Structure 1
Amino acid sequence: MLSGLVVAIGFVLFLGGFAWGAVVYQPYTVPTDSMVPTVTPGDRVLAQRIDGAEVRRGDVVVFKDEQWSDSPMVKRVVGVGGDTVKCCGDGGRLTVNGKELDEPYIEVEKLDVADAPGGSASRTPFEVTVPEGNLFLLGDRRGASIDSRAHLEEAGQGTVARSAVSARVDALAWPSQTMLERPATYASLPGGVSKAGPLRLQLAAVVAGAALVVLGAAYGPVVRVFGRGRRKQRAGVR
């Protein structure tokens, strides 16, 4: 009875973790190199299904905007409604509301510019005030990404409505298995950064469930073997 109960609990955790993950997350294959080095072409990512209202600065999001492309795209949110996003500040860094961002995840463009000895966060200079309800999006590989900078002359200055966002990337699933950390540089700005999704908890449920199934299935036979051994010992003593 104990063995069966442990196996049953294990199956519930194992299948429940998978089902929970299928409801909350969607897999997505990144086709371009615009998010290198964070995400490379062909990487399989897990993106948490969210409402656009939940998006925070620093999030890597999946969205679809007809003015950009007919296919879903993956970019990083650097500005939200009311923000003034500018490039570039001292040392070639991006600024949000006058605060320079430390973006260790980007691939900077090396420029022969006296006031930007370390490179530049963008070859295209710009200054945009993001409309309320919209997002300013950039790729991490600034030299190759077609992002908000390519749409500065359009209505909204290249911004995208929050409602266009369908998911937020939480982890790389293949070929590597890595959680995407929230950039600390955005934490001091109003609203802070988003919280991690429930992926770790879901994985823990799956692993714990698998372990319980194996242990529960093995418990019965092990007890029976030991039980036979003890009975034989008692019979021998008599």
Structure 2
Amino acid sequence: MSGNGLDHDGHGRGLGSVLSGLAVAVGCVLFLGGFAWGAVQYKPYTVPTQSMSPTVKAGDRVLAQRISGGDVRRGDVVVFQDDAWGNVPMVKRVVGIGGDRVACCGKDGRLTVNGTPVDEPYLHGTNPASGTPFDAKVPAGQVFLLGDDRLVSLDSRVHMEDAAHGSVPLSAVSARVDAIAWPMGGMLARPSGFEALPGGTSQPGPLKLVVGAVVAGAVLILAGAAYGPIASLARRRRVRAAVPAGR
């Protein structure tokens, strides 16, 4: 009986050790792989001004997915850098792409794209959607950019006299903001107001999958590392319970 018990216990310890080691190994792959994936896909950026309030406030730390110009859609909050705008990284919202006629304001005070009024619930209490009327044709390969706080934002409206009518080239766009990392604000919602326009809106990047991989990896590493001490404690308790009282 005792021999069989020892064999069974030894087999259990061996299998448990293998499984705990496997959990740690898989956890390391997920944890480190998630961080590597995130580093390739995303870059952190601190928003310097209040122009995108209330969506993104001054001082917020955001995670922006690296994208090419061909991935840009209307409604995206993008990071860009252009000589005509001071050649410093800036964050604005894309409201028009090449070929669009962007104007404000329609009879109901809304922004219009190709004559279609657009709902903009993200605006900072602005009605009409711009205190400065404008009407611009966006050249091919360019985007028209506005801040969400239209009262303070210095955006495409102040560059209307430029040859590109206030727009910037797609090549100037380097990333799309996916989430506010600090203070923790979560994922940025894709605006529904542009969905009916040709091309629709963009889909969120893989940030949730990246975070999921890192969290799952951490859990597996902790669980695998904890197996040894927990199993040892359980064996000691079984030994003490098996010793007759008084011995």
User: Smaller-chain TM-score range?
Assistant: over 0.9
Amino acid at match of 2:142: N
* Residue in structure 1 matched with residue 212 of structure 2 by the alignment: 204
* Residue in structure 2 matched with residue 151 of structure 1 by the alignment: 159
**Identity percentage of aligned residues:** 62
Q: Establish whether residue 105 from structure 1 lines up as the match of residue 113 from structure 2.
A: no
Amino acid at match of 1:130: V
* Residue in structure 1 matched with residue 72 of structure 2 by the alignment: 55
| Count of residues in Structure 1 that have an aligned counterpart in Structure 2 | 229
What is the 5 A alignment of 1:73-92?
73-92=90-109
For residues 89 and 177 of structure 1, the distance between their equivalents in structure 2, rounded to whole angstroms, comes to 32
CA root-mean-square deviation: 1.5
Deviation for aligned residue 1:177: 3.1
Give the helix-richer structure, 1 or 2: 2
* Residue in structure 2 matched with residue 95 of structure 1 by the alignment: 112
**Contact map agreement 1:94 1:121 (CA 8 A) in 2:** yes
**Contact map agreement 1:48 1:168 (CA 8 A) in 2:** yes
Deviation for aligned residue 1:204: 0.5
* Residue in structure 2 matched with residue 71 of structure 1 by the alignment: 88
Deviation for aligned residue 1:235: 5.0
For residues 178 and 225 of structure 1, the distance between their equivalents in structure 2, rounded to whole angstroms, comes to 41
What is the 5 A alignment of 1:28-39?
28-39=45-56
For residues 35 and 75 of structure 1, the distance between their equivalents in structure 2, rounded to whole angstroms, comes to 7
For residues 216 and 126 of structure 1, the distance between their equivalents in structure 2, rounded to whole angstroms, comes to 61
Deviation for aligned residue 1:108: 4.0
TM-score scaled to structure 2, two decimals? 0.89
Deviation for aligned residue 1:231: 3.9
For residues 93 and 7 of structure 1, the distance between their equivalents in structure 2, rounded to whole angstroms, comes to 55
**Contact map agreement 1:108 1:143 (CA 8 A) in 2:** no
**Contact map agreement 1:108 1:120 (CA 8 A) in 2:** no
Deviation for aligned residue 1:123: 1.3
Deviation for aligned residue 1:220: 1.8
Unaligned runs of 5+ in 2: 1-17
Per-residue Cα deviation, 1:131-155 (whole angstroms, up to 9, x for no partner) = 1111000000101111110011110
Q: Match for 2:148 among 116, 136, 140?
A: 140
For residues 73 and 87 of structure 2, the distance between their equivalents in structure 1, rounded to whole angstroms, comes to 24
For residues 187 and 201 of structure 2, the distance between their equivalents in structure 1, rounded to whole angstroms, comes to 15
Q: Establish whether residue 43 from structure 1 lines up as the match of residue 60 from structure 2.
A: yes
Q: Establish whether residue 225 from structure 1 lines up as the match of residue 247 from structure 2.
A: no
Most deviating of 226-235 and 62-71: 226-235
Deviation for aligned residue 1:232: 4.2
Q: Which runs of 4+ in 1 moved over 2 A?
A: 227-237
Higher alpha-carbon Rg: 2
Per-residue Cα deviation, 1:50-95 (whole angstroms, up to 9, x for no partner) = 1011000000000011011121110000000111111001221100
For residues 163 and 137 of structure 2, the distance between their equivalents in structure 1, rounded to whole angstroms, comes to 12
Deviation for aligned residue 1:236: 3.6
* Residue in structure 1 matched with residue 14 of structure 2 by the alignment: none
Unaligned runs of 5+ in 1: 110-118
Deviation for aligned residue 1:228: 3.1
**Contact map agreement 1:130 1:159 (CA 8 A) in 2:** yes
For residues 242 and 63 of structure 2, the distance between their equivalents in structure 1, rounded to whole angstroms, comes to 58
For residues 194 and 84 of structure 1, the distance between their equivalents in structure 2, rounded to whole angstroms, comes to 20
TM-score scaled to structure 1, two decimals? 0.92
Q: 1:104 to 1:231 in 2, by over 3 A?
A: same
- The alignment partner of 2:209 has SS state of helix
